[in-house]
Amino acid sequence: MTPTSHGEEAAAGTERVGVVGCGLMGSGIAELSALAGCDVRVAVSSRGSLAAGRSRIVASLDRAVRAERIGAATRDEALGRISFTTDLIDLADRQLVIESIAEDKAAKVELFALLDKTLEDPEAILASNTSSLSITAMASVTGRPEQVVGIHFFSPAQLIPLVEVISSLHTAESVAARAEEFVTVSLGKQAIRSTDRTGFVVNALLVPYLLAAVRMVESSFASAETIDRGMTLGCSHPVGPLKLADLIGLDVLRSVADALYDEFKEALYAPPPLLTRMVESGLLGKKAGRGFYRYG
């Protein structure tokens, strides 16, 4: 097996990794896997996405070099382990494929059906990086539901230490264990297990808190600055809820809230009208330059 950047070996059975999607999350997962010594192949939908994804990974690795988290040689070795394709058939030899496309249930289900037909190894693991959607729904369209698992990274994947490993009712324990080994041994992350319930562990707790802060702003009870200052100074949170919402992306927050409300029909999960209007207006948070705060 190829040595990882930490001097360990990549987890058995997951040396050839495929990543579908190369946005903010997909590029981070590809980067992590390459730094861990894996042979990484990234599948994207178009040549434009390929160029953008490659640039995103190069820029991230360059930042890591400037911050002295890695050396230039390590960066170059990692880039040499990553290849790109616009054809899913090029993932046929992968031992683990992690889907990281947009949070759209229909699109993910369609992709899993295609990946199931593409992968040659019957023991290959199909994983989703979804933050809220049903792993069971994706597994149900494959001929290998026991090989399907959730591996949910947090943004930015390169820096946040936690990963959730989610088992559906069909996921074999051996598959969940292999996924957890990949996360902890190969990638050097911390893992927690969750059952297949919308929001899993972290977002089921976090999203109602963020939505409550949005409602406070919406009702003019307090400003975003006041709320965030109260939670950072009064509760020792490293960042306030409105600034965190901006960092996550208000479109992502609304998507997760929609999924939680669809499943549980509880008012605390319902997206406030202000959040919906901000998303409709393109005020998506830091990535758009403006959300509850303005960004230069």
CATH code, domain carrying 53: 3.40.50.720
Q: How confident is the model at residue 14 (pLDDT cuts 50, 70, 90)?
A: low
DSSP state of 125: E
For residue 229, the model assigns a pLDDT of 98
Q: How far is CA 93 from CA 39, 88, 89, 225, in A?
A: 11, 11, 9, 50
Is residue 29 domain-shared with residue 154, that is, in the same domain? yes
Residue 125 tokens read as 């693991």
For residue 1, the model assigns a pLDDT of 30
- Mean pLDDT across 245-269: 95
Place of tokens 């080994």: 181
Please give the Cα distance from 119 to 5 (Å, whole number): 28
Is residue 161 domain-shared with residue 232, that is, in the same domain? no
Q: How confident is the model at residue 84 (pLDDT cuts 50, 70, 90)?
A: very high
Residue 1 lies in a domain: no
Q: Determine the 3-state secondary structure of 122 from DSSP.
A: coil
237 noted as active-site residue: no
Q: In the beta sheet, which residues pair with residue 153?
A: 163
Is residue 209 domain-shared with residue 176, that is, in the same domain? no
Residue of 33, 60, 186, 203 marked active site: 203
For residue 296, the model assigns a pLDDT of 87
Residue 10 reports pLDDT greater than 80: no
- Host domain of residue 215: 203-287
Among 148, 174, 195, the domain boundary falls at 195
Residue of 128, 152, 186, 194 marked active site: 152
Residue 165 reports pLDDT greater than 70: yes
Residue 65 reports pLDDT greater than 60: yes
Strand ranges (DSSP E) for the chain? 16-20, 39-43, 82-85, 96-99, 125-128, 148-153, 162-167, 190-195
Q: What is the pTM of this model?
A: 0.90
Residue 4 lies in a domain: no
Residue of 49, 60, 131, 194 marked active site: 131
Among 195, 222, 242, the domain boundary falls at 195
Residue 294 lies in a domain: no
Is residue 61 domain-shared with residue 141, that is, in the same domain? yes
DSSP state of 186: I
129 noted as active-site residue: no
Is residue 44 domain-shared with residue 183, that is, in the same domain? yes
152 noted as active-site residue: yes
Among 172, 195, 218, the domain boundary falls at 195
Residue 26 lies in a domain: yes
Question: pLDDT tens across 186-218, in order?
Answer: 999 999 999 999 999 999 999 999 999 999 999
Is residue 38 domain-shared with residue 82, that is, in the same domain? yes
Q: In the beta sheet, which residues pair with residue 84?
A: 42
